[in-house]
Amino acid sequence: MTDYLATGQLPDEYQQLAKAVRDFAQNVVAPVAAEHDANHTFPYEVVSGMADMGLFGLPFPEEFGGMGGDYFALCLALEELGKVDQSVAMTLEAGVSLGAMPVYRFGNDAQKQAWLPQLTSGKALAAFGLTEPDGGSDAGATKTTARLDDGNWVINGSKQFITNSGTNISKLVTVTAVTGTLAGGHKEISSILVPAGTPGYTVEPAYNKVGWNASDTHPLSFDDVRVPEENLLGERGRGYANFLRILDEGRIAIAAVSTGAAQGCVDESVKYAKEREAFGRPIGRNQAIAFKIARMEARAHAARTAYYDAAAALLAGKPFKKQASIAKIVASEAAMDNARDATQIFGGYGFMNEYAVARHYRDSKILEIGEGTTEVQLMLIARELGL
């Protein structure tokens, strides 16, 4: 990563990874993307292929079944997948940065040994239960509760918009819950591991979404769910703070997916502008089209630079909160703007769901909302500036 900052060239291992995932995305993901999107089906065969490639284990040590890579390697993979299918990219992003990463960052040895080999193999998925029906951007307004009773946590409440929570391979959800009251009357929020199939834990019917139709998303409910006291993840009362750290990292990953989406719109538009003829010549020879695509390329480049910068700070152990928020804003807005422009370039065809640009048009809006809205990112950046 530091080599790139000095030379503009990624080290060979990163280039090889990106190429391998690019080939997989074009040859395996792209051919089935429209079908899964239209049918709202989870792409198990694609996820199995990603698991075989080791993508779910990219940033984790080999001792837990991982590939021994880093978070930037994950982001490179997400960018390549995001070019052709955001649903697939988000399945990987949520499975790693939101599902497995909390266990890796904050779990004890027993929890890591019990869960990480399954999650890094991609044979099982974990979910991240933070958002609630009345919470949204105010994650501190958690109403789900967990109380100790005879050596067990008893959990009651609900979660909303939870990715990877209802598939046949979903095995775990980590939930934030109020476990007490701190001095001054503030909520003590902790995080607790809840295995799939625990009595009282219900995965509600999937949402009917505008986009990300091949990504699995459900509301969850907890009715006197009992799990052992040792399922506490990390220190009691640190659940909220720990999840904020996970979200900071996840914003870099979302920026990588967004960059892929932005670049995917450029690639599709360039190809179409060379092939589509109007008034006797390819439309790409018209300055209005050429300049629109040039601006799209500039947005994608800026987005990539922003997430590379945030990832470099993360890997160097430096503060990266501001960089992550900047990357998410720049990249998610690039994805949305490029999707709108690409749809315009394609004209009527851009409004047909079988075309990738139409899926990007529907999919990209949530990139400006999920894992912290644009407004939340602006608030965080302003705070980092001392405002």
Residue 45 annotated in active site: no
Instruction: Give CB contacts under 8 A, 24+ apart, made by 65-72.
Output: 65/116, 65/117, 65/120, 65/121, 66/116, 66/120, 67/120, 69/17, 70/1, 70/315, 71/249, 71/252, 71/253, 71/311, 71/314, 71/315, 72/1, 72/14, 72/308, 72/311, 72/312, 72/314, 72/315
Residue 236, judged by CB atoms within 10 A of its CB (0-12, 13-18, 19+), counts as middle
Residue 297 φ/ψ, nearest 5 degrees: -65, -40
Length of the chain: 387
Angle at 366 between CA 167 and CA 174, to 5 degrees: 40
Contact (Cβ atoms closer than 8 angstroms) between residue 210 and residue 283: no
The two three-digit tokens of residue 387, written as one number: 């405002």
Contact (Cβ atoms closer than 8 angstroms) between residue 163 and residue 94: yes
Instruction: Determine which one of 13, 93, 371, 384 is catalytic.
Output: 371
Distance (Å, whole) CA 83 – CA 256:
10
Distance (Å, whole) CA 1 – CA 3:
5
Residue 82, judged by CB atoms within 10 A of its CB (0-12, 13-18, 19+), counts as buried
Sign of torsion over alpha carbons 122, 127, 128, 131: positive
Select from 97, 59, 116 the least CA-distant residue to 245.
Answer: 97
**CA 276 → CA 282, 318, 345, 357, distances in Å?**
5, 48, 10, 15
> Percent helix, strand, coil in the chain (nearest 5)?
60, 15, 25
Residue type for 259, please?
T
Residue 317, judged by CB atoms within 10 A of its CB (0-12, 13-18, 19+), counts as exposed
Supply the residues annotated as catalytic: 371
